[in-house]
Structure 1
Amino acid sequence: MAISFIQAQQFGGHSPATKWNQINNDSIRVIFPQGLGLEKQATDVAATVQKLAIQTAPTIGTRLRKISIVLQPYTTISNAYVALGPWRSEFNLMPAQNPFDLGTTLWSHSLALHEFRHVQQFNNFRKGLSRVAYYLFGQDGLSLANSAAVPNWFWEGDAVYQETLKSQQGRGRLSFFFNDYRSLWRADKNYSWMKLRNGSLRDFVPDHYRLGYMQVAYGREKYGADFWKKVTDDAVRYNGVFYPFQHGIKKYSNITYKEFRKNAINYFKAGSDSLGNDAVSDWAKQQKHFAGDDEFPQWVDANTVVLVKSSYKKIPAFYLHNLTTGTDTRLRTKSISLDNYFSYRNGRIVYAAYEADVRWAWKDYSVVRVMDVHTGKERVITHLSKYFAPDISADGKAIVAVAVQPGGAASLHILDATTGAVLKKVPNPRQLFYSHPKFYDAQTVVTAVRTSNGDNTMALVNINNGAVEELLPFSKRIVGFPSVRGDTITFTAAGHQQDDLLALVNKQLYQVQTPANKGTGNYQWSALNNKVIYTAFTAAGYHLVQQSVGAESWQPVSADAFTQAIAIPYELAGLNQDAPIGVDTTRPYSISRYHKAFNLVNFHSWRPYISDPDYTFSLIGENVLNTLQTEIYFNYNTNEKYKEVGASAVYGALFPYLTLGVAETFDRKETDTPFRTWNELNGRLGLQFPFTFNGGRLYRQLNITGGINHHQVNYTLASKNRFRDEQFEFFDASVSLTLQSQVAKQQIYPRFGFSFLSRYRQIVTNLSGFQWLTSAALYLPGVARTHSLVITGAYQKRDTVGDYSFGSSFPIPRGYPAVNQYSIPDMYKVGFNYHFPLVYPDFGIGNIVYFLRVRGNAFYDYAYLKWYRDNHYLEFKSTGGEVYFDTKWWNEYNVSFGFRYSRMLNQLRGYDPNQWEFILPINLLGR
């Protein structure tokens, strides 16, 4: 669940056949597709929001502005956001399989508890200078001003606090949520505040949700429920001007910001060191940086396990790990997936992998893949499916998987392991949600189950009739990651401050002692004879633990004791002051049709764009269903001193997309002999065909565009009497293709990738003229895993008649000045780049700029420019190096900038062969 300050909508993401309904009242509009049975979820969202608007408003402010919440049922990604520009929220309705991360509350209800806090924040942050930014620049201006005044950790920490306060399973009540910081404390990783705020490319740093929750919870506990209301009120008004948020904390807590944040962390850290050392924390202390993740280990034989390994340098892949020697044998890269879960039996791995829909951005799939461990070959056995957490049977003939329908309704499907055909659909009359099912025997599956109220248990499900045998009483205690070995079912259960390992042996419950890790959670465990394997959460990654167990390691636990309510990890008095808001699907709201054309032209912001020499100011718009993007703009070019006024629109409710644009350019001039001045009118009507083929081990996108353009030249001033006005039509067409492998955190570019663009323009009326430009880039691995070799190329051909010359985007070798390309009919260029990291500083200055990485690039460029007359040609050659700084500004905005030295190997008269340049982002205030 995230708050977004950037464009987060998926443009044109739904088939035009989709029809929409709404619950619409004075404070909220909940929009959802017809015919999927989403009325109950929409009702609960509306009811929950209306309760929150009354119950939690006093802690942030009582201002309320109506918002549209769009329920998105077709994506497999569990997420949501609230954003301005335009003002809306979108809930992805797919529940997550992992119950420990976000809990087991009804997913749409949990989203409402969290995301509406962001709505309340935005509603009450349009004040003072933030209000001025809104009047000057619209919703985007307000968003920028708010995010500059209030740190991202507060936005998310405050929302996590609300979901914790108003539910029985918010993240502040889950031990898993605190693994991150507890692992740092136990490994003596004492990072600076700026590192905790900005992260690292070499060390594990918890996200701003966790940091924010600790700060927000401490502030409310120590200084009262209205503390943050007062702090943020001052901050968004920019009281104190510089560092207004820090100024507000000092004003209302009477201590410095530095003291406050230190006290907040120590408040939660207290008690962590009292647990003493253990093997896992000692191992993490010995790791200088993040070592990598070992996940979901499963027995192959008594000495070998198969698991998924990944690190900041390596993308996830399957490995065989020898427990005796500690050596790894790589099997195959894991296809693009939402998590690293998989299942293994008898030489075959089965897992769910992500695939995008070819046309619609709000639709994607989760397909089942089967891999042979002995050959490394892998195949997809389901298509256009939404299957999760598959498990293969002991005989290798069947697979059980969780099938999740749009909106979150779950069932168990039994699939043919060879063809993927559905053999059985297991009845689910109780509407339970299943997590990580495992075959217990040929007719029974063991799985974690949850109800719509968030109650959990481990259960046996008969695959013939759907009968459910509860192995433990339902409770709020989260259980998950079951594993089966003979008559023993092992699983993980949420504990007070540590997620524990438990086992059911002939239905008797035991807790397994884990002396190797006493401070964080233990997961994904399995027993074989007198040994167990599991992964422990550490500051250096999920660490594989092998442990011998005897009778003394298995401590009996009564079912009643297990299901008793456990204390939350960090008891806070403020969390006991309000009653939770329960799920309410029965409130009698009126449901009506939502018309797609409603507020279709929706201008919401004014944006300045700077991409020297062009300085642009635009009025931009987009509707809530993200099917129409509109822009009206004024541009000034500092090179030619001309002005341009234009408008454009893209309509994405149909396929292909329809594009329309018109622009008038004033005061163009050409100072060469003869001197000319003129105005231009340009209009365009086009089509766009975007395709996405993400799946397997590659991300792939194909975009085909075409259109007809009207171009009109009207000469002005003295040129009116010397030149004839011109008008003509030309068509343009382009094809762009990108494909790339997955990228690890430290990799600058993918180890394999390819991008290609080809564009052709041709006058079709009374004049002559054409231009064809093709460019490409090939990404290859370098000497080290974080190095990249990038080979680029470009070719441009144009006519020499001279009736009209199209603008050129041909890349001249670095270091050379721009040349007049209009008279050059043939040009080609090749470039070689070798990118590599230099250092990871993890260093910041004054909470203004933070340096994550310094990297270098050595390059060589060659271009050949040819004229037809007299076989005349030019060669441009240059070599040099670049140094880039990957930074974060104001703890939030990623900016890369650098310096370039170029040596012109073919000297030009009047130019120094040694050229130095400062490299800024293409558009720092980018579109």
Structure 2
Amino acid sequence: MLTRTYKLSIFLFLFFVAAAVTVRAQEFGGNPPSIKWKQVNVPVAKVIFPAGMDSVASRVADIVQRMNSAVQPTIGYKQKPVSILLQNQTTISNAYVGLAPFRSEFYLTPDQNSFEIGSLPWSTQLAIHEFRHVQQYNNFNVGLSKALHTVFGESGQALGNDIAIPDWFFEGDAVFNETQVSEQGRGRLPYFFNGYRALWDAKRDYSWMKLRNGSFVDYIPDWYPMGYMMVAYGREKYGDDFWKKVTQDAAAYKGLFFPMQRAIQKYSGQSFDQFTNNGFDHFKRLYTGKLSDSTLSKALIADKHQHFISSQEYPAYINDSTLVYLKSTYDHLPQFVINTNGKEKAISVRSVSLDNYFAYHDGKIVYSALHPDARWSYRDYSEIEVLDLKTSKEQRLTKRTKYFSPAFSNDGKNIVAVQVDPSGKNHLHILNAHNGALISVVPDKENLFYTYPKYYNSKQIVAAVRNTKGQMSLALIDIKTGDAKYLLAFSYQPIAFPIVHGDTIYFSATTGINDRLFAINTGTGKLYAIDHAGINKYEPAITEKKLAWVEFTAFGYQVRQNENNPTQWKALPGNAIPGGLASFNISALKRDSSTDVLATVPYKPLPVTNYNNAYHLFNFHSLVPDFSDPNYTVTLEGENVLNTFQSQVVFNYNRDEGYKEFGFDVAYGAWFPYLLAGFDYTLDRRALYQSTNIYWNESDIHAGVQLPLNLSNGRQLTSLNLSSSVHYSTTSFQEVYQRILNTSYTYLNNTVIFSNTIQQAKKNIYPRFGESFVLNYKTAISGVYANQFLAIGTFYLPGLFVNHNLLISGAHQQKAQGSTVSFSNDFPFSRGYAAENLQTMNKIGVDYHFPIAYPDAGIANTVYLLRLRGNLFYDYTRGSFNISNTAMATRNFRSTGVELYFDTKWFNQQSLTFGVRYSHLLDQNIFTGNTGRDVVEIVLPVSFF
């Protein structure tokens, strides 16, 4: 017997709708109500921000206003104002622009690594990058995309844009914009090209589909550098309006199928394959003859079947023959490792962190770990942890702090760390290394931004610093006075990872198309270049005799070592880092009036007013269909800009019974618990009563509270969600049955959801350890007698091999004897059987998940198979049910079988997992007429992650 859990005819439509709507449920109601919101308005944007950030908001508003007119000619002139929220409670460095609803959010804590994003002021960097996405969405509302917008709202446009225009263009174009309008930008940073440079060095000529979709076994760069190279090459070769013409055609679906590829061919005269190959070659030629001189790389290159090995980062010498570093693989969680003469010994798994940085001193490691706020998802912390390598015990030194890049003093008694507060200001804090107590705050006289501070001596700190323009230098800072002695002239060349050995400071800096190692002698003031060849070098570590550093390869970050021989260094004239920033042969960066727009933006305050939290409260933005037979649903969705109020109007048609359901629900998330309320009305419900079909209408009014808690800590990811709602339900039967069947009753619905797991490595199917539980209790409190209790639990355990998982699950559901109404059924019945709502049900299930193959292969730029995996299962359900008013029957429902899952990406962009299940029923399927013991089901979709 063949059954289908979803109708295949509507699969692709549902897939794209789900892909287009970005769900940020974890951030709903993410800010505490104590925040007072202000706003700055300019014609192109409303900048909404917490009180006290007036200057940052004014700067963002000025930048987007000035930049808009300067770069519109290259994307289009359509303009719809956007709301930009400045979030200052989180420690995460990120931002987005999204539809449904149309808004942008900036997460304002800067990153420490200036190589990765650049050294421009963080709010400036976000403004020049993210506002390009605003312009993209404004100008991609054309043709078929506009028609979808007209019918389905903003989710419709998101659907049309996401199918037609790939993510590599969205981000590559935004990176080009940030590079063009500033003196820096990622398009000028060698670190940005590390991934592709490493692949070219290793002669890994992966297919376009593999580069687009990634891999579970090989390192693949993300779509940002790919996109920049394609966009930059297109601008360079075919003019500044090339992508404007291409994207207008693509978003309008001229040619319908593969519109982006067709448009590129139309305006370039090249096939899409030729265009992408030429785009890569334009940059690849820069590195000809500049490949790695590492013997390890050469050995790995020779093996064409060599996959990703591991990343080894932030090496530190314990002695000349022993290093400690952080090791990350696709199979295991990041862990601290000691390497003695080539032999590794794992010490401890690292707690959840925002980056891989750590510092070492005398048997101890210090680093910053991420700790979320229990309730407010926009607020989290970066807390200092100290790990003892001898005992593997870890101590949390600080709580509810925002510390970054901590490092021990030379005697190990103190710690220096960068502290970033919600206002955006940052300082160097000196802490007690034993208990985390604050000893002193180093004055910041020149409003510098500090990165990777290290103790130079007991009185001075050395750090790579950024000034208010985003230029960098290396500075010695007096701990008491804050006075800075600059060792290098300020420039836009990024600097990072200083390390001190005697009177010499080693560091990495950008020089042209490379990031190289340098050293400066603080006594003589002499600057030296340490290396002259190989791929970019970072994170130096020093002893009297040895020098270690990190290089990026196609197989992960690899630690390299050499003799520390200052006699081979090259003194640099003028004590200046040579090379400047490279354009990577893209003259288009400097050929129009939009070049260096930032220099023309004035620093001036703009009028600030209070933001009304109730503004556009019912902000209906999308009409979302969801067709899962037998239910056909259309939902009008709304959400305000602050993400504190969600609303939806729902219509559902059930094909089995023919009933029509109308509903309205709201959720308010600005208080400690969510407040929930809604109303549902159902017409023409149908059931068989005394051999006759009877019809009735139902109504349900409900209200409740929900409390989502994030209790994650250290290595554990833990959540607890508590909810309770009260429902008032009534039924209205046909007139002849009204007196005997009409019912009105009130019931409570209480739910507890708990999950606790460890982190997952990239190739792990499930967490190797963890547990999750769901408890639900419904009980009538007036009108009728009824209650139902449901408990579901799952335990995650390791299997025989590293990426295998054993899952043991159990469930129990009990309804009160004599219940006059039947509540909805969420019991996970044995697979293969029709799910029934019995009086009592108990289940035990065992699953064994395992990978089968990693094909890394696709078809026609449409579907790409990353992984094929299997699952062997056994389900045992025992259920009791009434066969008469006085008699109960008990039956077993046992099944065993196999599931085959396909982890795929569609159209080189959207992840989708689906599967096929074969179930063999060990007991009779008594509720479906015993039609067969073998059942095949298409399980679709499993996830959209």
TM-score range, shorter chain: over 0.9
1:235-280 CA distances to partner (integer Å, 9 max, x unpaired)? 1111111111111111111111111111111111114232255225
Which residue among 823, 830, 833 is the counterpart of 2:847?
833
Distance (Å, rounded) in 1 between the aligned partners of 2:879 and 2:79: 62
How far apart are residue 394 of structure 1 and its match? 2.2
User: 2 CA distance for matches of 1:4 and 1:321?
Assistant: 46
Task: Answer yes or no: is the 8 Å Cα contact 2:631–2:654 preserved in 1.
Answer: yes
1:541 partnered with 2:559? no
In 2: Cα distance, 1:566 partner to 1:28 partner: 32
When residues 565 and 818 of structure 1 are mapped into structure 2, their CA distance, relative to the original with a 3 A threshold, is closer
Alignment of 1:95-106 (within 5 A): 95-106=110-121
C-alpha contact 2:589 2:595 (8 A) present in aligned 1 = no
User: C-alpha distance in 2, partners of 1:847/1:146?
Assistant: 17
Q: Decide whether aligned partners of structure 1 residues 426 and 378 sit closer, same or farther in structure 2, where only a CA change above 3 A counts.
A: same
1:25-174 equivalent positions in 2, closer than 5 A: 25-34=42-51, 36=52, 38-174=53-189
* Match of residue 853, structure 1, among 857, 867, 878: 867
Separation (CA, whole Å) in 2 of partners of 1:763 and 1:551: 82
Does 2:890 match 1:873? yes
1:177 corresponds in structure 2 to: 192
Question: 3-state DSSP class of the match of 1:499?
Answer: strand
Q: Is the 8 A contact 2:494 2:510 kept in 1?
A: yes
Q: Which residue of 2 aligns with 1:458?
A: 474
Query: How far is the alpha carbon of 1:581 from its aligned partner?
Result: 2.1
Paired AA for residue 643 in structure 1:
K
2:685·2:697 contact (CA, 8 Å) conserved in 1? yes
The structural deviation recorded for 1:872 is 3.3
Report the identity percentage: 42
| Residues 721-761 of structure 1 deviation map (CA, whole Å, 9 limit, x = unaligned) | 6x331101011111111111111111111111211110101
The answer to whether the 8 A contact 2:512-2:580 is kept is no
- Distance in 1 between residues matched to 2:417 and 2:766, nearest whole Å: 35
SS of the equivalent of 2:632 reads strand
CA-CA distance at 1:639 after TM superposition:
2.4
The one of 31, 35, 40 equivalent to 1:23 is 40
Q: Among residues 619, 622, 633, which one is paired with 2:639 in the alignment?
A: 622
CA distance in 2 between partners of 1:172 and 1:5 (Å) = 30
TM alignment of 1:513-552, pairs within 5 A: 513-514=530-531, 518-552=533-567
1:670-709 per-position Cα deviation (integer Å, ceiling 9, x unaligned): 1253533211101111001111112200111111101111
Taking a change above 3 Å as real, the CA distance of residues 573 and 761 of structure 1, as seen in their structure-2 partners, is closer
Give the 3-state SS of the residue equivalent to 1:24 in structure 2: strand
Q: What does residue 332 of structure 1 align with?
A: 348
* Letter of the structure 2 residue corresponding to residue 29 of structure 1: K
Q: Which residue of 2 aligns with 1:575?
A: 590
Which residue in 1 is equivalent to 2:783?
766
Indicate the residue corresponding to 2:679 in structure 1: 662
Residue 788 of structure 1: aligned partner: 805
2:413 is the alignment partner of 1:393: no
Q: Which amino acid is 2:604 matched to? A: R
Q: 1:866, 1:873 within 8 Å by CA — same for their partners in 2?
A: yes
Assess if the C-alpha contact under 8 Å between 2:661 and 2:680 holds in 1: yes
Letter in 1 for 2:208: W
106-115 or 800-809, which deviates more: 800-809
In 2, the alpha carbon distance for the partners of 1:4 and 1:381 equals 43
716, 725, 741: which is aligned to 1:698? 716
Distance apart, 1:718 and its partner CA: 4.8
Alpha-carbon distance, 1:867 to partner: 4.6
Deviation at 1:209, TM superposition (A): 0.6
Mapped pair 1:750 → 2:764: no
Partner of 1:306: 324
Structure 1 unmatched runs, 5+: none
Moved more, 379-388 or 545-554: 545-554
Shift of residue 556 of structure 1?
1.2
Instruction: Tell me, yes or no, if the aligned pair for 1:174 and 1:569 is still in contact at 8 Å.
Output: no
Displacement of 1:632 after TM fit? Answer: 0.1
Equivalent-residue separation in structure 2 for 1:923 and 1:301 (angstroms): 48
Give the direction of change, closer, same or farther, for the CA distance of 1:8–1:863 in structure 2 (3 Å limit): closer
Name the amino acid aligned to 1:409: K
* Aligned match of 2:749: 732
Indicate the residue corresponding to 2:438 in structure 1.
Answer: 422
Q: Distance in 1 between matches of 2:292 and 2:555?
A: 16
Residue segments in structure 2 that go unaligned for 5+ positions in a row: 1-18
Change (3 A) 1:469 1:277: closer
Root mean square deviation of aligned Cα: 1.8
TM-score (norm. length: structure 2): 0.94
Kept in 1: contact 2:43–2:65 (CA 8 A) = no
Q: Normalising by structure 1, what TM-score? A: 0.96
How many Å separate the matches in 1 of 2:140 and 2:907?
19
Q: 2:937 aligns with which of 914, 917, 923?
A: 917
Hey, what does 1:252 align to over in structure 2?
A: 267
How far 1:802 moved relative to its partner?
3.4
**Alpha-carbon offset, residue 418 of structure 1:** 1.4
Report how many residues are paired: 913
Tell me the SS of whatever aligns to 2:289.
Answer: helix
Q: Is the 8 A contact 2:685 2:696 kept in 1?
A: yes
Secondary structure of 2:825's match? Answer: coil
Map of 2:3 onto structure 1: none
Q: Deviations over 1:584-612 (max 9, x none)?
A: 46334211111101111100000001333
1:846 Cα shift?
1.0
Relative to 1, partners in 2 of residues 1:740 and 1:585: Cα closer, same or farther, differing over 3 Å? farther
Partner of 1:807 in structure 2? Answer: 824
| Alpha-carbon distance in structure 1 between the residues aligned to 2:20 and 2:513 | 31
Q: What amino acid does structure 1 have at the position aligned with 2:321?
A: N
Kept in 1, the 8 Å contact 2:529–2:572? The answer is no
| Residues 360-379 of structure 1: pairs in structure 2 closer than 5 A | 360-379=376-395
Structure 1 CA distance, aligned partners of 2:59 and 2:573? Answer: 36
Matched, 1:236 2:256: no
Runs of 4+ in 1 over 6 A off after TM superposition: none
The equivalent of 2:733 in structure 1 is: 715
Tell whether the 8 Å contact from 1:183 to 1:519 is kept in structure 2 after alignment: no
Deviation at 1:514, TM superposition (A): 4.1
CA shift for structure 1 position 570: 3.8
Q: Which amino acid aligns with 1:825?
A: Q
Question: Aligned runs of 1:206-285 on 2, under 5 Å?
Answer: 206-276=221-291, 278-279=293-294, 280-285=296-301
Q: Which residue of 1 aligns with 2:448?
A: 432
- Residues 181 and 138 (structure 1 numbering): CA distance in 2 closer, same or farther, change over 3 Å? same
Separation (CA, whole Å) in 1 of partners of 2:359 and 2:184: 28
For residue 57 of structure 1, report the CA deviation from its aligned partner: 0.2
Any conservation in 2 of the 1:459–1:468 contact (CA below 8 Å)?
yes
Question: In structure 1, the residue corresponding to 2:226 is in which secondary structure?
Answer: helix
Does the 8 A contact of 2:519 with 2:530 survive in 1?
no
CA distances 1:647-681 after superposition (whole Å, capped 9, x unpaired): 10000111211000110111111125353321110
> Which residue matches 1:689?
707
Contact 1:367 1:385 in 2 (8 A): yes
Is the Cα contact below 8 Å between 2:320 and 2:545 reproduced in 1? no
What is aligned with 2:6? none
Matching residue's letter, 2:363: G
2:426–2:449 CA contact under 8 A, matched in 1:
yes
> Using the alignment, how far apart are the partners of 2:433 and 2:583 within structure 1?
42
- Look up the match of 1:905: 922
